[in-house]
Amino acid sequence: MVLSLNVNTWDKLVHIQIYMGQRVAERLLEGLQEERETIESELGGALEWNPNPQKLDKVIRLARPGDIEDREQWTELAERHRPSSRLIVERGLPV
């Protein structure tokens, strides 16, 4: 599993995501779905759960607006996502 911070410059989004490989993806996604409301409440927003169900690998993602091409936003974007990534790790979500 991988915890990553990604940038979409076309749609001006920044998102943090957990990527789960196919060997463990179904089992982990199913277990995390049971705690969905709690996880989303703790992270302060609705998550995208498995946006591509036809794929074997699975993703849980929290996307927020942000323009990485605007250097004045860099500090704000980093600060906005730091608590989310820390919470994911501290909560014991598998990464």
pTM: 0.70
What per-residue confidence (pLDDT) applies to 17?
85
pLDDT for the residue 91: 60
pLDDT band at residue 72 under the 50/70/90 scheme: very high
pLDDT at residue 10 is higher than 90 = yes
Answer whether 81's CB lies under 8 Å from 5's CB. yes
Mean pLDDT of 51-77: 88
User: Distance between CA 31 and CA 94 in Å, rounded?
Assistant: 11
CB-based contact 24:58 (threshold 8 Å): no
Q: How far apart are CA 3 and CA 16, in angstroms?
A: 7
Which domains does the chain possess?
2-90 (3.30.310)
Q: What is the pLDDT of residue 83?
A: 65
Neighbours of 67 (CB within 10 A): 16
